[in-house]
Structure 1
Amino acid sequence: MNVFAEAFAWLFAPEQWQGPNSIPVMLAQHLLYTGISVLIAVLIAVPIGWAIGHTGKGREVAVAFAGAARALPSFGLMILLVLLFGVLQIPAAAVVTFVLLGIPPLLAGAYTGFEAIDRQVIDAARAFGMTRWQLLWKVEVPLGLPLLIAGLRSAALQIIATVTIGAYVGLGGLGAPIIQGIPLNRFDMVLAGAILVAALALLADLLLALAQRASVPAGLRTAPVRGKPQAAASAA
């Protein structure tokens, strides 16, 4: 029996779907940390990115921050924050790590979405007498939404991947079979955990890709949707 067959046998064994360490529990833990971290990153990065894109000020600082944040090693950052926060605050330290890694693509997606709008559209909206708030919510936000969701796709995938290593500090999640299986030489567990994480990432990316496509205004849907999962991040 090869390792793939053993991995799927482990995945579908009845004992893996029952109890406090079952796959549903690990999935719920993974989704909980991912959801909280993405939400906090959105609340921080999107308003700042929109402000930068709307006013044209602060872009250099945002680019520098995004570049520096991308250079941070996720595992090393998490261990450092766990040591700084203390062992009693491991979940908080992990969430801060995930948020810091999710902010750069969201920030880039927010302000590049505004920058990509044709200036003639902005001038026409102003010529119709729109106020700054009307321009923001009725023109810039709808037209910039596809690139923002592209940034969200990158952030979500980054966080899903990083939550996996959170099992190393006892957070649980779908990374638990990987972390537990390595020292035991249980490669069926390791591969099964990797399959679960990959499946979750692919599903999340598919759903966000559909959301990105749906976010394109009806009048622009004949043109190709701008921004793949990492388009917003590379735009910085």
Structure 2
Amino acid sequence: MTAVSGAWHWLTTAAHWTGPDGVTHRLAEHLYFSGVALGLAVLLALPVAVALGHAGRGGTLAFALAAAGRAVPTFAVLTLLLVQLGSGSDWPVIIALVLFAVPPMLANTWVGMREVDRDVVEAARGMGMTGGQLLLRIELPLAMPLIWTGVRSAAVQVVATATLAAMAGFGGLGRIITAGFSRQVTAEVLAGAVLVAALALLVEGACAGVQRLVDPGGRPRARSAGDGPRDRARTTPGDRSSAPGPEEVPQR
């Protein structure tokens, strides 16, 4: 039996999906860690990045945190938090994942706010919009595609990285992988890896679907009456193209 067929057999065995060590329970733990961490990261990163981007400040801080988030190993942070906080709660895992998720959200949100067309902002300000109206009606809607890209990137990374919680003795789909290693069952290790990869792909697909809804530029633009004047401006009264068509000739 090859590793692939062994993993398929393991995944299709009903006994592996039930009980405290079953896939269903481990998946619920994995989603709990990922969901709580992602929600806290959104609450922490987005308001700060939106405020800094609206004010045009903090770009250096945003990119410095993004670089630090990529450089610092998550497992090292998790181990340090485990030593400081102990293993009596889930907070070491959640805090480590929050610290991992904040940098891409912070950087993308700041860039999204600063990439809003300044001419549009000045035109809205000239119409008498207040700072709050400018933020809610102009900047946030136009920046939303990049903001959501940061959330999407963080979500996929958090789902994949939450597997490391098992190496510190916590739950999640990573426990299937560590259990396979401890029992030296390659099929179980591969089955756990497949489950994590499938979950990350599902999260990516769900986020991509939401992004199509929040990205106004991603929809095909319908032709409108405003498309015509540009073409008409290129014609002159003497052009043959400006002559009325057969349907426009008045009938006698």
TM value normalised by structure 2: 0.84
Deviation at 1:220, TM superposition (A): 6.2
In 2, Cα distance between equivalents of 1:205 and 1:37: 17
Cα distance, 1:184 vs. partner?
A: 2.1
Report Cα offsets for 1:106-164 as digits up to 9, x if no partner.
10121111111111111111111110000001111111111111101111111111110
Gaps of 5+ in 1: 224-236
* Counterpart-to-counterpart distance in 1, 2:220 and 2:66: 32
Which residue pairs with 1:65 in the alignment?
A: 65
Aligned residue in 2 for 1:233? none
SS at match of 1:4: helix
Whole-angstrom distance in 2 between the partners of 1:54 and 1:111: 8
Aligned to 1:158: 157
Pairing of 1:58-97 with structure 2 (within 5 A):
58-89=58-89, 91-97=90-96
CA offset digits 1:177-216 (Å, max 9, x no partner):
1111113221111100000000000000011011112111
Instruction: List gaps (5 residues or longer) in structure 2.
Output: 222-252
Alpha-carbon distance in 1 for matches of 2:26, 2:182: 19
**2: CA distance between counterparts of 1:214 and 1:168?**
37
SS in structure 1 of the partner of residue 210 of structure 2: helix
Quick one: distance in 2 between partners of 1:207 and 1:69? 24
Aligned-partner SS, 1:130: coil
Q: Give distance in 2, aligned partners of 1:35 and 1:87.
A: 20
Q: Equivalent residues in 2 for 1:121-160 (5 A)?
A: 121-160=120-159
Give the structure 2 partner of residue 231 of structure 1.
Answer: none
Question: Cα deviations across residues 37-72 of structure 1 (Å, max 9, x unaligned)?
Answer: 000000000001101110011111221122112211
Of all paired residues, the percent bearing the same amino acid is 42
Moved more, 163-172 or 42-51: 163-172
**What amino acid is the match of 2:92?**
A
Partner of 1:194: 193
AA aligned opposite 2:96: T
Greater relative contact order: 1 or 2 (C-alpha under 8 angstroms, separation 6 or more)? 1
Q: What residue is the counterpart of 2:36 in the other structure?
A: 36
Distance 2:57 2:197 in 1: 38
**Which residue in the other structure is 2:112 paired with?**
113
TM-aligned CA deviation for residue 87 of structure 1: 2.7
Call closer, same or farther: CA 1:140–1:183 in 2, change over 3 Å.
Answer: same
* Distance in 1 (alpha carbons) for counterparts of 2:103 and 2:12: 37
Q: How many Å separate the matches in 2 of 1:18 and 1:95?
A: 25
| Mapped partners of 2:92, 2:171: distance in 1 | 14
What value does the CA root-mean-square deviation take over the aligned residues? 1.3
Aligned to 1:178: 177
> Which one has the largest radius of gyration?
2
Cα 1:121/1:221, change in 2 over 3 Å: farther
Q: Matched residues in 2 for 1:122 and 1:137: separation?
A: 12
Q: Is the 8 A contact 2:116 2:143 kept in 1?
A: yes
